[in-house]
Every structure is written in structure tokens, then in C-alpha cells.
Structure 1
Amino acid sequence: MKSATIGIRELRDGLSRHLAEVRAGTELTVTDHGRPIARIVPIGSDSGLEALVRAGLATLPRSRRAALPEPVDASGTVSDLVADQRR
């Protein structure tokens, strides 16, 4: 897959042309003052995680995260609470 880096202004000024490049398979990295801020990839290309899963280097979670515990009602500062727990 080809890749290219473009600034925000260049993307805005030639949006149709750049989207045609993406449609043709080019991955665009968008920069703001030289710093990457976004990536535009063709639909159907794997994300980094999808590629790792397909290669067998990562696995997706088997179940949802466990529910968070109920908040504890307490008075005082966090420092005081921690000090009480250490006694």
C-alpha cells in the first residue's frame, strides 16, 4: 500500500483529488504544522489491531469488561483515606 503525508491546507484545497488517491489504495497521513494528527485509509484495509489479530500476534477480548464497583461514600481527603488504610 502506498502512503503519503499532506498538510491540512493541502488536503482541504485538493480534497477530491486526495480522496481519489485513497480510493486507489493510498494511505494519507494528515499533518498540522508538521505533526501527524490523522490517517485516512481506504475502506476495507485492516487497522493495526486487525492485522495483528489476523497474523496471530494478538487476540481480541473474549468478554466485556467487568462492571465497575459502586462508588464509596467517604469524607475527608484522599490522603487521609490512604493513611487510614495503611494503619
Structure 2
Amino acid sequence: MAITRVGIREAKLNLSRLIREVQKGKDVIITDRGKEVARLTGISKENLSLEARIEEMVKNGLLEREKKEARPLPLPLPVEGDVAQKLLQEDRG
């Protein structure tokens, strides 16, 4: 998918043309003084799964996959009785 980058001023002057580009499948990034601030993208005709949306973002360079396998989080420590509630009340005064 092609991506076009334009400044705010150019986007305001050429909005109709930019929308036609989006309808043809292009994405348009709008910049403010060189910094990316917005994206025009077409509306998908199908509801993509989370994984499909992530893959699309990876393909467009918006996300990077983790290079190493994520390690599992440790289990939370058990808290006996109402210790947590007492600590919360203490903290709140």
C-alpha cells in the first residue's frame, strides 16, 4: 500500500484529491512542520481480526514484532485476609 506524506497547508488545499487517493487504496500521512500528526486511510469493508490489523500495521511500518519470545509474568503473591483493604485504607488516610 502506497503512502503519501503532505503538510497541513497542502492537505487543506488538496483535500478532494487526497480523498480520491485514499479511495484508490493509498494512505495519506499529514505532517505539521515535518512531524506526522494524522493519517487518512480508507474504511475497511470487512471487519478484520485483531491479528489481521496488527499484520497490516507491521506491513505499513507502524509496528514492529517483538524479536524475542515474551516471558510469562510471575503469578501474583497471595495476600491473606483483609491486609490489602487495610493497606488501602491506610494509604487513603
**Unaligned stretches of 5+ residues in structure 1:** 58-69, 75-87
- Aligned pairs (5 A) from 1:1-87: 1-44=1-44, 50-52=52-54, 73-74=92-93
Instruction: Provide TM-score, normalisation by structure 1.
Output: 0.54
For 1:34, give the aligned amino acid. Answer: G
SS at match of 2:20: helix
**Unaligned stretches of 5+ residues in structure 2:** 57-64, 66-87
Identity, in percent, stands at 29
Give aligned pairs, total: 60
Query: Equivalents in 2 of 1:5, 1:19: separation in Å?
Result: 13
Query: Equivalents in 1 of 2:55, 2:33: separation in Å?
Result: 34
Q: CA RMSD in A?
A: 3.2
Question: Which 4+ residue blocks in structure 1 deviate beyond 3 angstroms?
Answer: none
